[in-house]
Amino acid sequence: MFETLKAAPADAILGLIAEHRNDPRPEKIDLGVGVFRTAEGETPVLDVVKLAEQRLVDTQASKAYIGTAGDPDFNAAMQELTFADSVDADRLVTIQAPGGSGSLRVAASLILRARPNAKVWVSDPTWANHIPLLGGAGLELATHPYYDAKKHVIKVDEMLDTLSKVDKGDIVLLHACCHNPSGVDPSEDEWRAIADVIVERDLVPFVDMAYQGFARSLTDDAFIVRHLAARVPEMIVSNSCSKNFGLYRDRVGSLSVLAPDQASRDIVNSQMNNVVRTIYSVPPDHGAVVVAMILGDPDLKAAWRVELAEMRGRLREMREMLHDALKTKAPEHDFSHLVRAVGMFCFLGISEEQVNRLKKEYGVYMVGSSRINTAGITAHNVNYLADSIAATL
Protein backbone atom coordinates (compact mmCIF):
# COMPACT_ATOMS: atom_id res chain seq x y z
CA MET A 1 0.00 0.00 0.00
CA PHE A 2 2.81 2.47 0.71
CA GLU A 3 3.75 2.50 -2.97
CA THR A 4 0.81 4.88 -3.41
CA LEU A 5 2.57 7.52 -1.33
CA LYS A 6 4.82 10.34 -2.49
CA ALA A 7 7.29 11.99 -0.14
CA ALA A 8 5.63 14.76 1.90
CA PRO A 9 6.94 18.28 1.25
CA ALA A 10 9.91 19.12 3.46
CA ASP A 11 9.21 21.38 6.44
CA ALA A 12 10.90 24.72 5.64
CA ILE A 13 12.02 25.41 9.21
CA LEU A 14 13.33 21.88 9.85
CA GLY A 15 15.22 22.10 6.54
CA LEU A 16 16.74 25.40 7.61
CA ILE A 17 17.84 23.93 10.96
CA ALA A 18 19.59 21.08 9.12
CA GLU A 19 21.30 23.47 6.68
CA HIS A 20 22.51 25.61 9.58
CA ARG A 21 23.77 22.55 11.47
CA ASN A 22 25.80 21.41 8.44
CA ASP A 23 27.29 24.86 7.76
CA PRO A 24 30.99 24.72 8.81
CA ARG A 25 31.39 28.53 9.15
CA PRO A 26 31.97 29.36 12.85
CA GLU A 27 30.33 32.78 12.52
CA LYS A 28 27.00 31.30 11.27
CA ILE A 29 23.80 32.58 12.92
CA ASP A 30 20.46 30.77 13.23
CA LEU A 31 17.48 33.15 13.26
CA GLY A 32 15.03 30.55 11.97
CA VAL A 33 14.45 28.20 14.85
CA GLY A 34 11.29 28.65 16.99
CA VAL A 35 12.68 28.40 20.53
CA PHE A 36 13.94 30.92 23.09
CA ARG A 37 17.71 31.13 23.46
CA THR A 38 19.92 32.68 26.13
CA ALA A 39 22.86 35.00 25.49
CA GLU A 40 24.93 31.80 25.31
CA GLY A 41 22.73 30.44 22.53
CA GLU A 42 21.16 27.77 24.73
CA THR A 43 17.57 26.75 25.44
CA PRO A 44 17.98 25.62 29.06
CA VAL A 45 15.41 24.09 31.41
CA LEU A 46 14.11 26.95 33.61
CA ASP A 47 15.48 26.82 37.18
CA VAL A 48 11.94 26.83 38.54
CA VAL A 49 11.04 23.88 36.32
CA LYS A 50 14.05 21.95 37.66
CA LEU A 51 12.87 22.65 41.22
CA ALA A 52 9.33 21.50 40.50
CA GLU A 53 10.58 18.42 38.65
CA GLN A 54 12.71 17.47 41.65
CA ARG A 55 9.67 17.75 43.90
CA LEU A 56 7.69 15.70 41.44
CA VAL A 57 10.29 12.92 41.39
CA ASP A 58 10.28 12.89 45.20
CA THR A 59 6.53 12.82 45.65
CA GLN A 60 4.85 11.27 42.60
CA ALA A 61 3.22 8.03 43.69
CA SER A 62 1.85 6.72 40.40
CA LYS A 63 2.03 7.01 36.66
CA ALA A 64 -1.35 5.40 36.10
CA TYR A 65 -3.52 6.96 33.39
CA ILE A 66 -5.03 10.36 34.05
CA GLY A 67 -8.42 11.19 32.52
CA THR A 68 -9.04 12.70 29.10
CA ALA A 69 -9.14 16.21 30.63
CA GLY A 70 -5.75 15.79 32.32
CA ASP A 71 -4.77 17.21 35.69
CA PRO A 72 -7.56 19.17 37.43
CA ASP A 73 -5.08 21.40 39.31
CA PHE A 74 -3.34 22.28 36.06
CA ASN A 75 -6.65 23.05 34.38
CA ALA A 76 -7.79 25.31 37.23
CA ALA A 77 -4.44 27.13 37.29
CA MET A 78 -4.39 27.66 33.50
CA GLN A 79 -7.96 28.93 33.57
CA GLU A 80 -7.03 31.46 36.22
CA LEU A 81 -3.86 32.51 34.35
CA THR A 82 -5.87 33.00 31.16
CA PHE A 83 -9.13 34.57 32.30
CA ALA A 84 -8.41 35.85 35.87
CA ASP A 85 -11.79 37.11 37.10
CA SER A 86 -13.01 38.44 33.73
CA VAL A 87 -15.98 36.05 33.57
CA ASP A 88 -18.10 33.72 35.69
CA ALA A 89 -16.17 30.44 36.05
CA ASP A 90 -19.47 28.49 35.71
CA ARG A 91 -19.37 29.32 32.00
CA LEU A 92 -15.80 28.10 31.53
CA VAL A 93 -14.21 24.73 30.99
CA THR A 94 -10.47 24.07 30.58
CA ILE A 95 -8.76 20.82 29.63
CA GLN A 96 -5.11 19.90 29.38
CA ALA A 97 -3.73 19.29 25.89
CA PRO A 98 -0.49 18.08 24.27
CA GLY A 99 0.99 21.54 23.66
CA GLY A 100 -0.64 24.45 21.91
CA SER A 101 -0.79 22.37 18.73
CA GLY A 102 -2.74 19.59 20.46
CA SER A 103 -5.09 22.17 21.89
CA LEU A 104 -5.68 23.74 18.45
CA ARG A 105 -6.35 20.27 17.02
CA VAL A 106 -8.97 19.43 19.67
CA ALA A 107 -10.55 22.85 19.11
CA ALA A 108 -10.72 22.13 15.37
CA SER A 109 -12.67 18.90 15.97
CA LEU A 110 -14.96 20.66 18.42
CA ILE A 111 -15.73 23.40 15.88
CA LEU A 112 -16.41 20.77 13.21
CA ARG A 113 -18.87 19.02 15.51
CA ALA A 114 -20.61 22.24 16.54
CA ARG A 115 -20.66 24.26 13.33
CA PRO A 116 -19.29 22.18 10.42
CA ASN A 117 -19.99 24.83 7.77
CA ALA A 118 -18.36 27.75 9.55
CA LYS A 119 -15.23 29.31 8.06
CA VAL A 120 -12.25 30.05 10.27
CA TRP A 121 -10.70 33.44 9.46
CA VAL A 122 -6.95 33.67 10.04
CA SER A 123 -4.64 36.65 9.70
CA ASP A 124 -2.56 37.15 6.56
CA PRO A 125 0.08 36.06 7.40
CA THR A 126 -0.33 33.68 10.32
CA TRP A 127 1.77 31.01 12.07
CA ALA A 128 2.89 28.67 9.28
CA ASN A 129 1.34 25.64 10.98
CA HIS A 130 -2.11 27.15 11.59
CA ILE A 131 -3.21 26.42 8.05
CA PRO A 132 -2.09 22.76 7.73
CA LEU A 133 -3.08 22.01 11.32
CA LEU A 134 -6.60 23.46 11.22
CA GLY A 135 -7.17 22.90 7.52
CA GLY A 136 -5.86 19.34 7.79
CA ALA A 137 -8.40 18.66 10.52
CA GLY A 138 -11.13 19.54 8.02
CA LEU A 139 -11.89 23.19 8.72
CA GLU A 140 -12.44 25.64 5.90
CA LEU A 141 -10.04 28.57 6.29
CA ALA A 142 -10.05 32.08 4.89
CA THR A 143 -7.68 35.00 5.47
CA HIS A 144 -8.25 38.58 6.55
CA PRO A 145 -5.70 41.37 5.97
CA TYR A 146 -3.31 41.88 8.89
CA TYR A 147 0.27 42.89 8.24
CA ASP A 148 1.47 45.65 5.94
CA ALA A 149 4.89 44.37 4.90
CA LYS A 150 5.96 47.78 3.50
CA LYS A 151 4.93 49.99 6.39
CA HIS A 152 5.40 47.29 9.07
CA VAL A 153 2.07 48.07 10.73
CA ILE A 154 -1.26 46.28 11.11
CA LYS A 155 -3.81 47.00 8.39
CA VAL A 156 -6.46 47.57 11.04
CA ASP A 157 -9.02 49.28 8.82
CA GLU A 158 -8.81 46.58 6.15
CA MET A 159 -9.00 43.86 8.80
CA LEU A 160 -12.08 45.45 10.38
CA ASP A 161 -13.67 45.96 6.99
CA THR A 162 -13.19 42.30 6.01
CA LEU A 163 -14.45 41.00 9.35
CA SER A 164 -17.49 43.26 9.20
CA LYS A 165 -18.54 41.45 6.00
CA VAL A 166 -17.97 37.80 6.92
CA ASP A 167 -20.92 35.50 7.52
CA LYS A 168 -22.48 35.70 10.96
CA GLY A 169 -21.40 32.79 13.10
CA ASP A 170 -17.98 32.35 11.45
CA ILE A 171 -14.90 31.89 13.62
CA VAL A 172 -12.00 34.39 13.91
CA LEU A 173 -8.61 33.10 14.99
CA LEU A 174 -6.70 35.80 16.89
CA HIS A 175 -3.14 35.75 18.25
CA ALA A 176 -3.48 37.00 21.84
CA CYS A 177 0.04 38.48 21.81
CA CYS A 178 3.40 38.26 20.02
CA HIS A 179 1.73 37.73 16.64
CA ASN A 180 3.67 35.02 14.83
CA PRO A 181 5.27 35.80 12.36
CA SER A 182 5.01 39.63 12.43
CA GLY A 183 5.58 40.44 16.15
CA VAL A 184 3.03 43.26 15.75
CA ASP A 185 -0.01 43.17 18.05
CA PRO A 186 -3.04 45.46 17.98
CA SER A 187 -3.07 48.25 20.57
CA GLU A 188 -5.75 48.02 23.27
CA ASP A 189 -7.91 50.48 21.32
CA GLU A 190 -7.49 48.42 18.16
CA TRP A 191 -8.37 45.27 20.09
CA ARG A 192 -11.53 46.99 21.34
CA ALA A 193 -12.50 47.86 17.76
CA ILE A 194 -11.86 44.24 16.67
CA ALA A 195 -14.01 43.02 19.58
CA ASP A 196 -16.79 45.44 18.52
CA VAL A 197 -16.95 43.83 15.06
CA ILE A 198 -16.88 40.34 16.58
CA VAL A 199 -19.83 41.25 18.80
CA GLU A 200 -21.74 43.04 16.00
CA ARG A 201 -21.30 40.18 13.50
CA ASP A 202 -21.90 37.47 16.10
CA LEU A 203 -18.53 35.89 15.29
CA VAL A 204 -16.92 33.30 17.55
CA PRO A 205 -13.44 34.35 18.73
CA PHE A 206 -10.84 31.59 18.80
CA VAL A 207 -7.77 32.97 20.56
CA ASP A 208 -4.35 31.34 20.27
CA MET A 209 -2.20 32.35 23.24
CA ALA A 210 1.19 30.71 22.69
CA TYR A 211 3.34 33.47 24.23
CA GLN A 212 1.61 34.79 27.37
CA GLY A 213 4.21 36.82 29.27
CA PHE A 214 6.58 37.25 26.30
CA ALA A 215 5.24 40.62 25.08
CA ARG A 216 4.49 42.96 28.02
CA SER A 217 3.32 41.06 31.10
CA LEU A 218 1.14 38.07 32.00
CA THR A 219 -1.82 40.43 32.51
CA ASP A 220 -1.31 42.76 29.54
CA ASP A 221 -0.76 39.85 27.16
CA ALA A 222 -4.16 38.39 28.11
CA PHE A 223 -5.96 41.70 27.43
CA ILE A 224 -7.99 40.57 24.42
CA VAL A 225 -8.95 37.25 26.03
CA ARG A 226 -10.34 38.97 29.12
CA HIS A 227 -11.90 41.82 27.16
CA LEU A 228 -13.75 39.38 24.91
CA ALA A 229 -14.70 37.07 27.79
CA ALA A 230 -16.64 39.94 29.32
CA ARG A 231 -18.46 40.67 26.06
CA VAL A 232 -19.16 37.52 24.04
CA PRO A 233 -21.36 34.51 24.74
CA GLU A 234 -18.92 31.98 23.30
CA MET A 235 -15.17 31.80 22.85
CA ILE A 236 -12.35 29.27 22.43
CA VAL A 237 -8.85 29.82 23.84
CA SER A 238 -5.78 27.66 23.14
CA ASN A 239 -2.77 28.03 25.42
CA SER A 240 0.73 26.71 25.02
CA CYS A 241 3.24 26.30 27.89
CA SER A 242 6.05 25.52 25.44
CA LYS A 243 7.54 29.01 25.41
CA ASN A 244 6.65 30.66 28.71
CA PHE A 245 7.61 27.57 30.77
CA GLY A 246 10.26 26.35 28.30
CA LEU A 247 8.52 22.96 28.22
CA TYR A 248 8.67 22.54 24.43
CA ARG A 249 9.23 18.80 24.29
CA ASP A 250 7.04 17.89 27.23
CA ARG A 251 3.98 18.92 25.20
CA VAL A 252 1.83 20.92 27.54
CA GLY A 253 -0.97 23.34 26.79
CA SER A 254 -4.63 23.82 27.52
CA LEU A 255 -7.91 24.39 25.74
CA SER A 256 -10.60 26.57 27.29
CA VAL A 257 -14.13 27.15 26.10
CA LEU A 258 -16.45 29.90 27.26
CA ALA A 259 -20.11 28.87 26.87
CA PRO A 260 -23.25 30.98 27.28
CA ASP A 261 -24.24 29.24 30.52
CA GLN A 262 -23.31 26.37 32.82
CA ALA A 263 -25.59 23.82 31.13
CA SER A 264 -24.11 24.40 27.67
CA ARG A 265 -20.62 24.50 29.21
CA ASP A 266 -21.22 20.98 30.54
CA ILE A 267 -22.29 19.73 27.12
CA VAL A 268 -19.20 21.30 25.49
CA ASN A 269 -17.05 19.71 28.19
CA SER A 270 -18.42 16.27 27.39
CA GLN A 271 -17.78 16.82 23.66
CA MET A 272 -14.22 18.06 24.22
CA ASN A 273 -13.40 15.00 26.29
CA ASN A 274 -15.00 12.78 23.71
CA VAL A 275 -12.84 14.37 20.98
CA VAL A 276 -9.72 13.77 23.08
CA ARG A 277 -10.65 10.10 23.50
CA THR A 278 -10.83 9.71 19.73
CA ILE A 279 -7.45 11.34 19.03
CA TYR A 280 -4.84 10.66 21.74
CA SER A 281 -7.00 9.27 24.56
CA VAL A 282 -5.24 11.02 27.43
CA PRO A 283 -2.73 13.90 27.45
CA PRO A 284 0.92 13.60 28.58
CA ASP A 285 1.20 14.31 32.28
CA HIS A 286 4.72 15.37 33.23
CA GLY A 287 4.85 18.97 32.01
CA ALA A 288 1.33 19.74 33.17
CA VAL A 289 2.03 18.58 36.73
CA VAL A 290 5.17 20.72 36.74
CA VAL A 291 3.17 23.77 35.62
CA ALA A 292 0.45 23.03 38.20
CA MET A 293 3.10 22.87 40.94
CA ILE A 294 4.64 26.17 39.86
CA LEU A 295 1.37 28.03 39.54
CA GLY A 296 0.04 26.52 42.79
CA ASP A 297 3.01 27.52 44.97
CA PRO A 298 3.46 31.27 45.62
CA ASP A 299 7.27 30.99 45.88
CA LEU A 300 7.64 28.94 42.71
CA LYS A 301 5.20 31.21 40.88
CA ALA A 302 7.18 34.29 41.90
CA ALA A 303 10.42 32.62 40.74
CA TRP A 304 8.77 31.72 37.40
CA ARG A 305 7.62 35.31 36.87
CA VAL A 306 11.22 36.48 37.36
CA GLU A 307 12.55 33.99 34.79
CA LEU A 308 9.76 34.89 32.38
CA ALA A 309 10.57 38.60 32.74
CA GLU A 310 14.23 37.80 32.01
CA MET A 311 13.31 36.00 28.79
CA ARG A 312 11.04 38.88 27.76
CA GLY A 313 13.74 41.43 28.59
CA ARG A 314 16.37 39.59 26.58
CA LEU A 315 14.16 39.54 23.48
CA ARG A 316 13.52 43.27 23.76
CA GLU A 317 17.17 44.04 24.37
CA MET A 318 18.33 42.04 21.33
CA ARG A 319 15.85 43.80 19.05
CA GLU A 320 17.09 47.15 20.35
CA MET A 321 20.71 46.11 19.88
CA LEU A 322 20.17 45.01 16.28
CA HIS A 323 18.20 48.18 15.59
CA ASP A 324 20.99 50.38 17.00
CA ALA A 325 23.67 48.49 15.06
CA LEU A 326 21.71 48.81 11.80
CA LYS A 327 21.19 52.51 12.43
CA THR A 328 24.96 52.94 12.32
CA LYS A 329 25.74 50.44 9.57
CA ALA A 330 22.77 51.09 7.25
CA PRO A 331 21.66 54.63 8.18
CA GLU A 332 19.66 55.11 4.98
CA HIS A 333 17.28 52.26 5.92
CA ASP A 334 14.54 52.41 8.56
CA PHE A 335 14.48 49.40 10.85
CA SER A 336 12.40 51.02 13.60
CA HIS A 337 9.81 48.26 13.23
CA LEU A 338 12.28 45.95 14.98
CA VAL A 339 11.76 47.84 18.23
CA ARG A 340 8.03 48.24 17.75
CA ALA A 341 7.62 44.45 17.54
CA VAL A 342 7.17 42.25 20.61
CA GLY A 343 8.00 38.65 21.50
CA MET A 344 10.23 36.24 19.69
CA PHE A 345 9.46 36.91 16.04
CA CYS A 346 9.34 39.80 13.64
CA PHE A 347 10.07 40.42 9.98
CA LEU A 348 13.41 41.92 9.10
CA GLY A 349 11.68 43.30 6.00
CA ILE A 350 14.13 42.24 3.27
CA SER A 351 13.49 40.38 0.02
CA GLU A 352 13.73 36.60 -0.41
CA GLU A 353 16.75 37.16 -2.64
CA GLN A 354 18.47 39.09 0.17
CA VAL A 355 17.52 36.30 2.62
CA ASN A 356 19.24 33.80 0.31
CA ARG A 357 22.34 35.97 -0.02
CA LEU A 358 22.56 36.28 3.76
CA LYS A 359 22.53 32.51 4.00
CA LYS A 360 24.94 31.81 1.16
CA GLU A 361 27.45 34.59 1.66
CA TYR A 362 27.33 35.14 5.43
CA GLY A 363 25.86 31.97 7.03
CA VAL A 364 22.91 33.95 8.43
CA TYR A 365 19.81 31.73 8.39
CA MET A 366 16.17 32.88 8.43
CA VAL A 367 12.97 31.78 6.71
CA GLY A 368 12.28 33.11 3.20
CA SER A 369 9.74 35.68 4.40
CA SER A 370 12.62 37.28 6.43
CA ARG A 371 10.93 36.35 9.71
CA ILE A 372 13.62 36.30 12.37
CA ASN A 373 13.71 34.82 15.85
CA THR A 374 15.32 37.57 17.90
CA ALA A 375 16.44 34.99 20.45
CA GLY A 376 19.13 33.98 17.94
CA ILE A 377 20.82 37.39 18.36
CA THR A 378 23.54 37.85 20.99
CA ALA A 379 25.82 40.70 22.05
CA HIS A 380 28.57 38.62 20.48
CA ASN A 381 27.03 38.16 17.00
CA VAL A 382 24.99 41.37 16.59
CA ASN A 383 27.73 43.37 14.86
CA TYR A 384 28.48 40.60 12.39
CA LEU A 385 24.74 40.24 11.80
CA ALA A 386 24.24 43.97 11.19
CA ASP A 387 27.31 44.09 8.89
CA SER A 388 25.94 41.14 6.89
CA ILE A 389 22.49 42.69 6.59
CA ALA A 390 23.95 46.08 5.60
CA ALA A 391 26.08 44.41 2.92
CA THR A 392 23.08 42.68 1.34
CA LEU A 393 20.75 45.70 1.31
Ligand X SMILES: Cc1ncc(COP(=O)(O)O)c(C=O)c1O
- Residues marked active site are found at 127, 208, 243
Q: Does 253 bind ligand X (CB under 6 A)?
A: yes
The kind and range of the H/E element at 320 are: helix 298-329
Closer residue to ligand X (CB): 180 or 388: 180
The β-bridge partners of 125 are: none
Residue 8 carries which DSSP code? P
Does 374 participate in binding ligand X (rule CB under 6 A)?
no
Q: Which segment (24-32, 96-104, 289-297, 310-318) binds ligand X by CB under 6 A?
A: 96-104
State the SS3 of 106-150: HHHHHHHHHCCCCEEEEEECCCCCHHHHHHHCCCEEEEEECEECC
Considering the rule CB under 6 A, would residue 290 count as an interface residue with ligand X?
A: no
Per rule CB under 6 A, count of chain residues that contact ligand X: 13
Half-sphere exposure of 324 (CA within 13 A, CB side): 8
Q: Which is nearer to ligand X, 51 or 107 (CB)?
A: 107
Residue 32 vs 99, nearer CB to ligand X = 99
Q: Per CB under 6 A, which region of 21-29, 53-61, 93-101, 312-320 contacts ligand X?
A: 93-101
Check binding of 96 to ligand X (CB under 6 A). no
Helix (H) or strand (E) run with residue 154 in it: strand 153-154
DSSP sequence for 336-385: THHHH--SSEEE----HHHHHHHHHHH-EE--TT-EEEGGG--TTTHHHH
Q: Which of 127, 191, 347, 365 binds ligand X (CB under 6 A)?
A: 127
- 240 makes contact with ligand X (CB under 6 A): yes
Among 170, 208, 221, 234, binds ligand X (CB under 6 A): 208
Residues 27-66 that bind ligand X (CB under 6 A): 34
Q: 194 or 382, CB closer to ligand X? A: 194
- Binding status of residue 214 toward ligand X by CB under 6 A: no
Tell me if 246 contacts ligand X by CB under 6 A.
Answer: no
The one-letter amino acid code at 275 reads V
Closest approach, Cβ 275 to ligand X, in A, equals 17
Q: Which of 96, 123, 212, 242 binds ligand X (CB under 6 A)?
A: 242
101 contacts ligand X (rule: CB under 6 A): yes
- Categorise residue 346: left if φ over 0, alpha if ψ from -120 to 50, beta otherwise: beta
Q: Check binding of 335 to ligand X (CB under 6 A).
A: no
DSSP codes of every residue in 213-276: TSSS-TTGGGHHHHHHHTT-S-EEEEEE-TTTS--GGG--EEEEEE-SSHHHHHHHHHHHHHHH
Q: Does position 81 bind ligand X by CB under 6 A?
A: no
Please report how close the Cβ of residue 304 comes to ligand X at its closest, in angstroms.
Answer: 17
Comparison of 159 and 247: residue with beta carbon closer to ligand X? 247
Is residue 210 within the footprint of ligand X (CB under 6 A)? yes
Q: What is the 3-state secondary structure (H, E, C) of 64-122?
A: CCCCCCCCHHHHHHHHHHHHCCCCCHHHEEEEEECHHHHHHHHHHHHHHHHCCCCEEEE
Residues that bind ligand X in the complex, under the rule CB under 6 A: 34, 99-101, 127, 175, 180, 208, 210, 240, 242, 248, 253
